[in-house]
Amino acid sequence: MAQIEKRGEGTYRLTIEAGFDSNGKRKRHRKTVKAKNITEARKEYAKFLTEIESGTYIKPEKMTVDSFVNNEWLKKFAETNYSPTTLKKYIGQLNAHILPEIGHKQLDDIKPLHLVTYLNKLEQNDIRKDGRVGKLSAATIKDIYKIMKSVFNKAVEWKVISSDPMDGVSQPKVERKKMKYYTSDEAQEVIEALYQEQDQWKMYFLGAFVVANSPH
């Protein structure tokens, strides 16, 4: 049997014999790679052989992102590591944004560029799922990034995939809103209005007012 077999334009199938299993059946590892020519295919074969011999080769699982998230990540990690509030929020983001976009794809088919493109798409005006006009908040996009980071990190840690497609994907920047303070005239009006309230509310809101308008 050929160890390197040309399958199509720029595609080769690599085959490595790995002895016999406990039933006497011959064990073979196969991998299809893209290579410009036979020289590149031989290099890929050498890397493949090294992975097999060192025990680092992970056979790609035919598992979709949706299946992994709902059957593995949620039950075996998220439900025990996130607070109920955070878990509810993350499930909402998964169902509203992440799974409709990439849930149908196989884990090992996801590449960094797919995720970079998706994160950029989230900044468009028509991406919201709640019927409201405008863009998703930067904080929501950051949450989506954190969820995907966790999902793919666990997929690698549990050896479902061999590499993390989130590697090299930068975390979105959250723009900090500039604090606004009352002018002296506005502050005076607020204080005068508060003095018309009951003592308990007057003291409560005056204290909050002072803290909120103190530059940090």
User: What are the pLDDT tens digits along the chain (216 aa)?
Assistant: 568 999 888 889 899 987 777 788 888 888 888 889 999 999 999 999 998 888 777 776 678 999 999 999 999 999 999 999 999 999 999 999 999 999 999 998 899 999 999 998 888 766 655 555 567 888 889 999 999 999 999 999 988 887 899 998 988 776 655 556 667 777 677 677 767 777 776 677 666 666 555 554
**Distance in angstroms (rounded) separating the CA atoms of residues 51 and 128:** 44
Tokens 């295919």 locate to 41
Element (H, E) at 51: helix 38-54
C-alpha distances in angstroms, 211 versus 55, 89, 104, 146, 208? 60, 30, 49, 32, 5
With contact defined as beta carbons under 8 Å apart, do 164 and 111 qualify?
Answer: no
The residue type found at 98 is I
Q: What global pTM score does this model have?
A: 0.59
Q: Which of 33, 82, 90 is nearest to 57 (CA)?
A: 33
pLDDT of residue 212: 56
Domain segments of the chain as ranges: 4-54, 65-157, 178-216
pLDDT of residue 23: 81
pLDDT of residue 115: 94
pLDDT of residue 123: 81
pLDDT of residue 131: 55
Q: Which of 140, 113, 146 is nearest to 128 (CA)?
A: 140
pLDDT of residue 2: 65
CATH class in words for 65-157: mainly alpha
pLDDT of residue 179: 58
